[in-house]
Structure formats: C-alpha cells, structure tokens
Amino acid sequence: MLPQSAAQLPESLQGAVGTASQLLRYTACRLSPPPSSWNNDLIVKALPAFWLSRGPLAWLLLPASLLFRALTALRRRLYQAGVFKTAVLPVPVLVVGNIFVGGTGKTPLVIWLARSLRAAGYRPGVISRGYGGAADVVLEVGADSAPGEAGDEPVLIAMRTGCPVMVGRDRVAAARRLLDLHPDVNVIVCDDGLQHYRLPRQVEIAVFDTRGAGNGWLLPAGPLREPPARPRDFTVINGARRAPGVTGASWQMMLEPGNAWQLRDPGRRMALAPLCAGKQVLAAAGIGNPARFFAMLAEIGIEFRQLPLPDHYGFEANPFAGAAADIILITEKDAVKCRLEPALNRDARLWVVPVTASLEGPLTERILERLRGSPPA
C-alpha cells in the first residue's frame, strides 16, 4: 500500500523529499544557489549513505537532481552570455570553494593561500559568506569578533592570517567594503563562492577530500552542487593524491597538526604525544567532516574516544559536562566559540589542536603565474 502523506514515509526519505522540494522551489524561482536558510548541516546528517552510492533512494531522487543540474547549467550560461551581469572589481580575486556540499578543507587552504600571497609580496584580504554567523550586513571580522555574528571560520582566518577579513552574503558588496576600508589590499581571496558567479575571479580552486565526488550526482540525489567536471583552474584534494570521481590534474593537501595549546592558558603548549600519554583522551570536532580530524589524530598514534558534533556547533550547551576524560582535544574552529563560554574557557582539560595546510609541488608558483597572466575565469 502506498503512503498517503509524507508523514507515512520512512524518516530518511521524509528528509530527502523535503530537501528535494525545497531545492526545486528555490531554483525554479530564482536560478540561484541554495539560500542561506537552507541547512546544509541537516542535509549532510540526513542523507550521508546514499550520497556516496547509487542506491534506491538516490535513484528515486535522480529526476530532481537532473532538473537541478539543468537549472544550474542554465544559470551559468546566462552569466557567460551576459544576461546576468558579473561585477567589476579593481583587484584580482581568487576563489577557493567546493562542489561537494559540506566541509572539505577550504579554510586551511584559504589560510595557506593568504600567507603564500603575502610571502610573495601581495597584500591580501579575505571575503567570506560567514556561515554560522547571524549578521545580515557586511561586517568586518577581527580575531576578537564574536563568531555568533561573523561566523567561526572567518574569525579563525582573521586569527591565523592577520589579513583584513569581511563577511557578507553578497560577496561583491563584501569585496567592495573591504577595499573601501583597506585600500592597500591588492588581491582578494574568497572563502567559498564558486557558485557566486556575480563575483569576478581570476583564479578558481576547487577543494575535494577523500570522499571525492560521492556518487557523482547533483543535489538532492547526490552531494554535488555542480558537475564534478566543472571547469576550474586548480583542483586540490585534502588527504589524498586522487579521489573517487575527481578527474584531471590535482594537487594533494595534507593537514599537519602542530603543538596543542590549552584553551584556558593559550601560552601553554605541548606536543600531542606527551600531552596524551597515559591519559583518557576525548577528541571532539564540530566541523564538516569530523572523521578527518579523528583520522589525523589516529595517524600520529593518539588513543582517544570520538565525539563528532554538528558543523558550526555553537557550544551554548556544554557537550563535555560530565565527560570522563583527562584531556579533551578540539579543533581551532571550535576553539573560537569555546573561548567565549565561561564553563569551557575555564576547563583545563580542553586543548586545541592547530593544523597547517601543506601542499605538494610548486602550487604557489602556478597560482601566481595564473594570477599575473590570466583573464577572469
């Protein structure tokens, strides 16, 4: 007997159908990327299994996926034909983004890129959507900004790079405001924004991780915002040289952990191995792919229990209250929020694990060559 309403469907299918209908309503009306109100974190948690294989549920949603693909291609062609206008900015723009929904490692790459540009003599600034923040206007972000307003990743970028950072849903408005306030900036790095075609760009970098292109299908039947063969200047794979479904030349990025620092006393730093030796260790991560953080710790021989948290987790509720652990390892992204919660900021068990992106080969030189000599993408 067929179900008479969505409430009679299995829970996972209810989520899939809801996601599909929301996506199609929006794209049919606006021919724009999914809105900020669309909860990517909820989608990632509701639909992980069939996004990585072509099972029955993925096939059920394939017609919606094909429609989304057609609308996405139409929107891109309308920009290419000049029907929709791309803005003009007085400085070059490098966009670091992803095609796979959710976290793939963009933020460490943005930090690496900003530092590399500065080392090459540029004066970079960074713009971002500010996911996880609540601000509806263009907002300048500093190391002491509230992540609840600006977003956790932009605050982390400001802390790690010292570059001027601006957030806003309208990337063009954010870029213009950045240049108004910091006229010395001569190159802009955009954290996310591959699908924000109104923003001009000289270089596009797409970031994947070991999940590659998943099942290779677009939303909602798969995890992709655009086809995996979408043109771009560079492809970076976080954690591997190759990834399933990702074709063409690519560059490997590895995230290397540094000495941990104590959240209560940031001046206190220790190597992870002696810090964790003989201790009960809990590792927690509120990032797009917590398994990546856990795998990194396991690779260096740390024994620990895992506590995956939703991406952009706010820490208003203390997830460590009553946890049986001597040491709690958290990510830098989570630390920018934990430091503002008194119960967490005073917890001597919390140690932050910083990571630094390491990229193989002369990627910096290739990016600089493209930046200096290429027309807009």
List the structure tokens of 107.
Answer: 């933020």
pLDDT at position 41: 41
Q: Compute the radius of gyration of the chain from its Cα atoms.
A: 21
pLDDT at position 339: 95
Per DSSP, the residues of 289-331 read -HHHHHHHHHHTT---EEEE--TT---SS-TTTT---SEEEEE
Which H helix or E strand runs over 96? Answer: strand 93-97
Q: Can you point out the beta strands (E) in 192-296?
A: 203-209, 234-238, 251-257, 260-262, 269-270, 281-285
pLDDT at position 132: 58
Q: Which residue has the tokens 């909602």?
A: 220
The model's pTM:
0.85
pLDDT at position 374: 55
Q: What is the mean pLDDT of each run of 10 residues along the chain (377 residues)?
A: 39 48 45 40 52 94 97 96 96 97 92 97 95 75 92 95 96 97 98 95 96 96 96 95 94 96 97 97 94 94 96 92 96 96 96 95 92 64
The sign of the torsion formed by the CA atoms of 165, 167, 171, 176 equals: negative
User: Minimal CA–CA distance to 336: which of 96, 164, 158?
Assistant: 158
Which H helix or E strand runs over 94? Answer: strand 93-97
